[in-house]
Amino acid sequence: MNTQKNLMMFTIVISVIYGIWAIFAPGSIMSTYGTPEEFVNPVVMSTIMLFGVSAWVVAILGWHIRATVTEENVEKAMTYFAIAWLLYGLHGVLAARLLTWPEGMEPAAFSRQTIGGIVFLVFSVVYYILRKPKGGE
């Protein structure tokens, strides 16, 4: 069960880091994703900061799940973590496309946000595959 607990801690740490980044430097996140200057305004910045708070909530809930997980419920807990990464990944893959509707739905070069979304989708698959502890752990 050590592998599963380590994967849970990975999610917690990434959520805390991303939360801090979104709360204290929302403009930096927007520039990383290539957001045009004309879309940067106080409402959008506030929304990014709210997303940072949401990432902290994921970390807090993840911390609680990790602390209370047992051999009997680790598979269920890992499934929740896989779903969380799936949602992050779907956001990354779809957000850039939807922001540039209808042109964004056409096949185009991958943006940094799309690539990040694909990485998160891979994390989701890894978490789902490793949801059950091996007999020797």
Q: Is the pTM of this model over 0.75?
A: yes
Phi, psi angles (nearest 5°) of residue 51: -60, -35
Q: Which amino acid is at 67?
A: A
Comparing CA positions, the residue from 84, 93, 100, 87 lying closest to residue 118 is: 93
Q: Where are the domains of the chain?
A: 2-129
Contact 55, 19 (CB under 8 A): yes
Q: What is the CA radius of gyration of the chain?
A: 17
pLDDT in tens, 43-88: 989 989 999 999 999 999 999 999 999 999 999 999 999 999 999 8
Please say if the pLDDT value at position 14 is more than 60.
Answer: yes
What's residue 137's pLDDT?
A: 47
**Cis status, amide bond into 102, omega within 30 of 0:** yes
Contact 56, 19 (CB under 8 A): yes
